[in-house]
Amino acid sequence: MLWIGIHLPLLSLETFASTLDPALAGLPRVLIEEHRVVQADAAARALGVKPGFKRATALALAPNALLGQADAHRDAQALQALAHAALAFTPSVVVCDEPGRAGLQMEVRASLRYFGGLPRLIDLLQQALQPLGHQLQIATAPTALGAALLARWRADLTLGPHSDNLMVLRRWLDAAPVWLLGPGREHWEALQGMGLRTLGDLRSLPRSGLARRFSPELLNELDRARGDAPEPQRWVMAPPRFDSRLELFARADTSAQLLAGARVLLARLVAWAQALHGRIGAFTLRAHHEPRHRSDSQVPPHSTLEIALAEPAVDIGHLQQLLAERLARLPLPAPALELSLHSDALVPGAVPNAELFPTRATEREGLTRLVERLQARLGREQVCSLRAVADHRPERSTAVEPANAAAVLAASAAAPPKPVGRDRSLLRPVWLLPEPLPLQERQGQPLYEGRPLKLLAGPERIESGWWDEGLVTRDYYIAGLPDGALLWIFCERLPLPPGQGQGWCLQGRFG
């Protein structure tokens, strides 16, 4: 077996600071539990703050520090998102959520060939975990607990002879500090007093005496790490529906302030979709309002933003752009303290492979995303498309309606390939005037801006509209100007009253 161990040394601090205002990014950060420091970042430690200090002591050393309350549930949700991202590489993922030992273990032996070897798999894994915003320490070993202990110990043990060799792993573990083990951390002072600083020192003593003096679990954990005892595992499974909730660092009075938290939730959503090897068809974001404002009957408990994609996707950049555009147009009736994201619209199937040269599929995807972004920014009613109408009269053959990105995608996908021969659709221009423009005539020949027009093709006869009051009887021609421009003109087929000529009119232009 081959295991990848991932340790998250700053998980609690990172989840606390995930929704911080960028203006506060440089301040020291400290996590408090039961009025004592449980974790401090590098800036706080540089000022002398250490785990175990009282809250008042930490504030005396770092008066401008950002204090946060440790939250095991918040950390568990972040760890679950990391596990979902890991499930995209192997179904054998284990989560360790013990305080101070948070991390993942992944068995990847069966995945190496598919991903191109261990170094390539680890590179892809780091890229997949990067949007979640956590510092990682990675190690590899033939046992799950061995990989976890090496990852907790040092940050430079990603690859090496210990990755696939049990004997080499045991030599590395003999040099590792004894506090890496759970019971070793608990009994650290007693072990240190006895001169037992490494796991090798621990193994040199009689096992029965160690088990009586400390606990059998100390030796059991060491045996599992060395491969001398079985390692029963509880595998992670991604849920069929996605639900995640996030508390904001400060109350959000505008929708723009919600974006930092929304990006965290979107990264978790994408990790969940990739774990199930699917794409996201729709999701719902809710901003939960401050409770003291809910006494007003006109203020709802939350504001809801629903986003449905015309084409399912897991491109986090595209999803963030759509959400940012929609959030900019979302009015908040009251301040928000929490965000939640929900999705049960998972579309099975892998993401299409990247292509070297554009194809019809990629062109459709680009058009669909353009329509979605325009609608998110301007509003659905402001982005329109043309719909064909069963009417031969050119001015009535199309109707303007709000664009439907899904319909645009379906129509472009169903469009047949262009014929090799003559295409009669090219005989009509795309650009039409709102109303036909009468043209001057000279001896029955149409003029445009005083220049005579040369009839190049036609006539195309249209007689329609007798069932309503819009009867037309026209002969259409393609006419050319001396500079090469092409116009679409018609003349009335039925004779006009004397003195009105043949009724030449301009209907549209080519190009």
> CA 150 to CA 4: how far, in whole Å?
10
Domain membership flag for residue 363: no
99 lies in the same domain as 175: yes
8 lies in the same domain as 142: yes
Task: Label residues 282-303 b or e (16+ Cβ within 10 Å = b).
Answer: ebebbbbbeeeeeeeeeeeebb
How high is the pLDDT of residue 362? 55
Retrieve residue 157's tokens.
Answer: 């043990």
Q: Quote the number of domains for the chain.
A: 4
> CA 65 to CA 48: how far, in whole Å?
12
How high is the pLDDT of residue 360? 56
β partners of residue 49: none
How high is the pLDDT of residue 122? 95
Domain membership flag for residue 323: yes
β partners of residue 198: 177
Q: Which of 65, 66, 74 is nearest to 11 (CA)?
A: 74
HSE at residue 348, side-chain half, CA atoms within 13 A, is: 1
CATH number at residue 309: 3.30.1490.100
406 lies in the same domain as 311: no
How high is the pLDDT of residue 421? 44
How high is the pLDDT of residue 265? 93
How high is the pLDDT of residue 359? 55
At which of 226, 257, 290 does a domain end?
226
176 lies in the same domain as 108: yes
At which of 166, 198, 226 does a domain end?
226
Domain membership flag for residue 33: no
275 lies in the same domain as 390: no
At which of 382, 415, 448 does a domain end?
415
204 lies in the same domain as 301: no
Domain membership flag for residue 454: yes
Domain membership flag for residue 212: yes
> CA 58 to CA 495: how far, in whole Å?
97
Q: Which amino acid is at 241?
A: R
199 lies in the same domain as 101: yes
Q: Which domain holds residue 170?
A: 3-27+65-226
pLDDT tens, position by position, 279-300: 998 999 999 887 765 555 677 7
How high is the pLDDT of residue 444? 78
294 lies in the same domain as 186: no
Find tokens 């002591």 and name the residue.
Answer: 57
> CA 249 to CA 21: how far, in whole Å?
8
Q: Where are the alpha helices (DSSP H) in 304-433?
A: 316-328, 360-378, 405-414
128 lies in the same domain as 275: no
Task: Label residues 316-333 b or e (16+ Cβ within 10 Å = b).
Answer: bebbbbbbbbbbeebebe
Where the chain has pLDDT below 50, the residues are: 419-426
126 lies in the same domain as 19: yes
How high is the pLDDT of residue 118? 93
Retrieve residue 472's tokens.
Answer: 């037309």
196 lies in the same domain as 264: no
Kindly report the number of other CB atoms within 10 A of residue 337's CB atom. Answer: 16
Domain membership flag for residue 38: no
Domain membership flag for residue 250: yes
408 lies in the same domain as 433: no
Domain membership flag for residue 43: no
Q: Positive or negative CA dihedral for 162, 167, 172, 178?
A: positive
> CA 393 to CA 391: how far, in whole Å?
6
